[in-house]
Amino acid sequence: MRVAFLYPGQGTQRAGMLHDLPDHPAVAATLAEAERILPGSSRQDGARALTSTVTAQVALCVAGVAATMALAGEGVVPDAVAGHSVGVFPAAVAAGALTFAEALVAVRHRGELMRDAYPSGYGMAAVLGLGVSRARRLIESITTDDDPVYLAVIDTDQQVVAAGSVPALDRLAAAAERAGARRVRRLDIGVPSHCPLLAGVADAMAVHLGTVPRRRLDVPYLGDATGRLLHDTGAVLDDLARSVATTLRWRDVTAVLGELGTTLFIQAPPGHLLARMAGAAHPRSRAISLADTAVGDAAVLARRVRATPPRERHDRGAAR
């Protein structure tokens, strides 16, 4: 396993993200298809529109699939895929578990369920520099029945994300700063993802995805709720449904990809966060983002990685 595609989730969206996708025929075709499936979905990337969790999630799905199609147009397919939060849906399209139409409809439904469950008063915050165990204990110490907060995402050993009510997140920020956190940052997310508060959304998504045909996967998929490699479509669809209400284990995902021999991580737009985390976790590997690397250049790198024998790749990595 040499090349992995990574798909970012909500919080990475930014104004103009769809208009800034690579200038490639496959991207244009994907945007046209998105417009046929969900009218307006290929154009709604303004700052105001992206404040809606529904619009943001749909835009991220469109961007991820467009990037996949552009790379495929250059002859590059992944050896494995992984998605962060709503990024699991374009990852599932790349793996062959979902069609683009199925993914877009499911993502819109997911966003609407999340919005309707928590229209205001909730969100997410990143805590950096405390470590996972300390952050977990701190989160557990400040949660209450009226203002709950949960450990929602484990990105790295030193970066976690909490989800919960705004008052609880405010208490967490103050407590984390007193405990010596390097930084506490509210994310551009207005719903409490990846925690038990969205158990009802997970149940509804399981029902929705239960209608999707089971297909043989084209590419192995890393589950963000389990941090494990999934080869069965049923397991992938269960991950898509359940991950919204369970802790996202991205640290485990990047670790497993490295253990499987991945030497090139390619992040779909927007942003660079997943590429940066993969590069930090696996300094002997190459991690790039299509946000600032041309599709053709990424394809050249992928072909070069696949043409290099494993021992030589290791030696070159050690020399860097």
For each of the domains in the chain, give its residue range(s) and CATH number, in order of start: 3-117+196-319 (3.40.366.10), 122-186 (3.30.70.250)
Q: Which residues pair with 82 in a beta bridge?
A: 6, 222
All residues at 6 or more sequence positions from 84 whose CB lies less than 8 Å from its CB, including other chains: 6, 7, 8, 9, 224, 248, 250, 273, 274
All residues at 6 or more sequence positions from 242 whose CB lies less than 8 Å from its CB, including other chains: 202, 205, 206, 225
* Stretch 87-114: mean pLDDT: 98
Q: Is the pLDDT of residue 317 over 70?
A: no
Report the chain's mean pLDDT, rounded to a whole number: 94
Parallel/antiparallel/unpaired status of strands 159-165 and 3-7: unpaired
Q: What does the alpha-carbon distance between residue 244 and residue 85 come to, in Å, rounded to a whole number?
A: 7
- Which pLDDT value is given to residue 308? 82
Tell me the backbone φ, ψ of residue 234, rounded to 5 degrees.
-60, -40
How far is CA 315 from each of CA 79, 255, 312, rounded to the nearest angstrom?
21, 20, 5
Rounded to 5 degrees, what angle do the CA atoms 234, 237, 242 make?
A: 120
Q: How confident is the model at residue 1 (pLDDT cuts 50, 70, 90)?
A: confident
pTM over 0.85: yes
Q: Is the pLDDT of residue 315 over 60?
A: no
Q: What does the alpha-carbon distance between residue 221 and residue 231 come to, in Å, rounded to a whole number?
A: 7
Contact (CB, 8 A) for 149 and 168: yes
Copy the structure tokens of residue 22: 């690579």
